[in-house]
Amino acid sequence: MIRVRFAPSPTGALHIGGAHTALFNWLFVRREGGRFVLRIEDTDRVRSTKEAEKTILDGLQWLGITWDEGPFYQSERLNLYRRYAEQLLENGLAYKEGSAIVFRTPREGATYFKDIVWGDIEVENGSLKDIVLIKSDGMPTYNFAVVVDDHTMGITHVIRGEDHIPNTPKQILIYKALGFEVPEFAHLPMILGPDKTKLSKRHGATAVGEYRNMGYLPEAVFYYLSLLGWSPKEEGDILYPQEIVKLFDLRDVTKRAAVFDLEKLKWINKLFIKDKSPAELAKAMRFFWLEKGYNIDDYPESYLQDVVAILQGRAYTLQELADYSDYLLKESLNYDKIILAEFIGVMKGEEWNSLIEEIKKIDPFVVENIDNAVRSWLNKRGVKLKGVGQALRYALTARRVTPGIFEVMTLLGKDRVVDRLERAVSLVVGESSNWQDA
């Protein structure tokens, strides 16, 4: 039975690197069939917090990284570490130094292991220093606790970041001293910032939660992360977790550290947004709309879904999508008077009035009818749609970029369209009908 584990220390948020590690463990174990164990490495009494732990678990759940056992806490297993440390003391393989217990590394020979992704790795034992097992405060050190935990928890495959490669020989020495079977190791490539150094806060957002708040979809983050150090034979289409599981193979993991590319993540996020059903998306949008202060409960659910449907695929994040939907979910528009005057200026006030009258007659108020009515009115007058279309767009949305203007008009409904047009025209033309560029 294959058993893997993800063992974060609760000293901060779940960051991209951690999520990447958890993800690969998850893909591997779901692919091969086995159990995913979650272990909290909270032996650093000073830096560990319950809040950090919660953030990490939330982050994993958000991404859909499920675990089968745990969370287990190292802080609750202190006796275990103590007992094994004493065993080493009795065997003469470790010694006391003050109130700490230290492992005596062999001076001769070499320690070898075959990493699933890196291949053969060998280190001269002579280059290793003695290893502290139990700290003066009675807590085990990381290198000792992992060994005891991974063994007693029956972990068969240790999958973790490349930064642990130098620790591995030390741990293997301890496994052997304790008479434990050594598990398989698979080290994952590091995730770097644009400057090619280990990704950290100074590179920008590194916490998974930040991406959630910015409006990234969990599936998108999941897919993007899976692409760092691994790749499906054919890229191009988006893949959902279950599909990735089917294609995943630890042996295909790359060794070269990968630079985190936000541009690509954004693009992937856009694809996933586009792929969502309007109902699902509308649900996910609630948080972002509310954050914008829109009174979304004033509108029927079906309308909200229509709003999403017309906009999805044009935004990189849900936050952007919320921003783009303002004119559909807010009743008042803030025009830039100069821009409005410029757009409305493509036609005379009386022409606008005529067009508006024409629009009032459209029934039912659907895309095809609006399109026909507006175009035939324009044809009769010999006016091009280009300028008027843009004017309509700005007058109705206070934006220069929106989905197709006839789609927008349909969604807005005849009443709002007429109201907004009349107001826009009067703002520019004024009561007197003799208006100037502002």
Which residues are identified as catalytic? 201
Stretch near RNA under the rule CB under 7 A, chosen from 204-212, 240-248, 258-266, 285-293 = 258-266
Number of Cβ within 10 Å of residue 54's Cβ equals 11
Residues in the chain: 438
Interacting residues with RNA between 159 and 218 (CB under 7 A): 162-167, 189-190, 192, 196-198
- What span, in angstroms and rounded, lies between the C-alpha atoms of 20 and 190? 9
Q: Does 49 bind RNA (CB under 7 A)?
A: no
Q: Shortest Cβ distance from residue 346 to RNA (Å)?
A: 11
Residue closer to RNA (CB basis): 413 or 430: 413
Q: Which span sits near RNA by CB under 7 A: 21-29, 38-46, 336-344, 419-427?
A: 38-46
Q: Which is nearer to RNA, 256 or 361 (CB)?
A: 256
Q: Map residue 295 onto helix, strand or coil.
A: coil
Q: How many residues bind RNA (CB under 7 A)?
A: 73
Is residue 38 helix, strand or coil? Answer: strand
- Cα separation, 160 vs 20, in Å, equals 9
Smallest separation (angstroms) from RNA to the CB of 403: 5
Q: What distance in Å separates the CA atoms of residue 268 and residue 108, rounded to the nearest whole number?
A: 51
Residue (of 208, 203, 275) closest to 243 by Cα position: 275
Site for RNA contains 368 (CB under 7 A): no
Going by C-alpha positions, the residue among 263, 223, 427 that lies closest to residue 345 is 427
DSSP at 123: E
Q: How far is the CB of 407 from RNA (least distance, A)?
A: 7
State which of positions 322-351 bind RNA (CB under 7 A): none
Burial 322-337 (b: 16+ CB within 10 A, else e): bebbbbbbeeebebee
Q: Please, what's the largest Cα pairwise distance for the chain?
A: 102
The letter for the amino acid at 283 is K
Helices 337-344 + 385-397 axis angle, to 10:
150
Q: Which two tokens stand for residue 44?
A: 């650093």
Between CA 69 and CA 22 the distance in angstroms is 14
When asked if residue 310 is in the footprint of RNA (CB under 7 A), the reply is no
Task: Kindly state the smallest distance separating residue 5's Cβ from RNA, in Å.
Answer: 12
Query: Least Å distance between CB 310 and RNA?
Result: 10
List 68, 252, 301, 357, residue binding RNA (CB under 7 A): 252
Comparing CB distances to RNA, the nearer of 200 and 433 is 200
- How far is the C-alpha of 322 from the C-alpha of 311, rounded, in Å? 9
* DSSP H/E element including 110: strand 110-115
The β-bridge relationship of strands 34-40 and 69-73 is parallel
- Give the SS3 label for residue 4: strand
Residues 89-148 that bind RNA (CB under 7 A): 97-98, 100, 118-124, 127, 129, 132, 135-137, 139, 141-143
> In the set 322, 403, 412, 435, which binds RNA (CB under 7 A)?
403
Residue 433, C-beta contacts closer than 8 angstroms, at least 6 positions apart: 349, 350
- Minimum CB separation from RNA for residue 436, in Å? 25
3-class secondary structure per residue, 304-325: HHHHHHHHCCCCCCHHHHHHHC
Q: Minimum CB separation from RNA for residue 430, in Å?
A: 26
Task: Identify which of residues 109 and 430 has a Cβ nearer to RNA in the complex.
Answer: 109
Nearer to RNA among residue 236 and residue 364 (C-beta): 236
- Stretch of residues binding RNA (CB under 7 A), selected from 4-12, 23-31, 78-86, 356-364: 4-12
Q: How far is the CB of 298 from RNA (least distance, A)?
A: 26
Is residue 404 at the binding interface for RNA, with CB under 7 A as the rule? Answer: yes
Q: Which residue of 83, 114, 246, 264 would you call a contact of RNA, by CB under 7 A?
A: 264
Q: Which of 50, 108, 332, 401 binds RNA (CB under 7 A)?
A: 401
Binding to RNA by CB under 7 A, coded x per residue (else -) over 268-307, reads ----------------------------------------
Q: Where does this chain touch RNA (CB under 7 A) — which range of 82-90, 203-211, 336-344, 388-396?
A: 388-396
Residue from the set 89, 153, 238, 259 that interacts with RNA by CB under 7 A: 259
> Smallest gap, in angstroms, from Cβ of residue 42 to RNA?
7
Question: Contacting RNA (CB under 7 A), which of 156, 213, 390, 426?
Answer: 390
> Scanning residues 64 to 83, which ones bind RNA (CB under 7 A)?
none
Cis peptide before 364 (omega within 30 of 0): yes
Choose between 97 and 350: whose C-beta lies nearer to RNA: 97
CA separation (Å) from 211 to 13, 205, 319, 320? 12, 7, 11, 13
Query: Is 259 or 333 the residue whose CB approaches RNA more closely?
Result: 259
**Chain-centre distance of CA 230, in angstroms?**
17
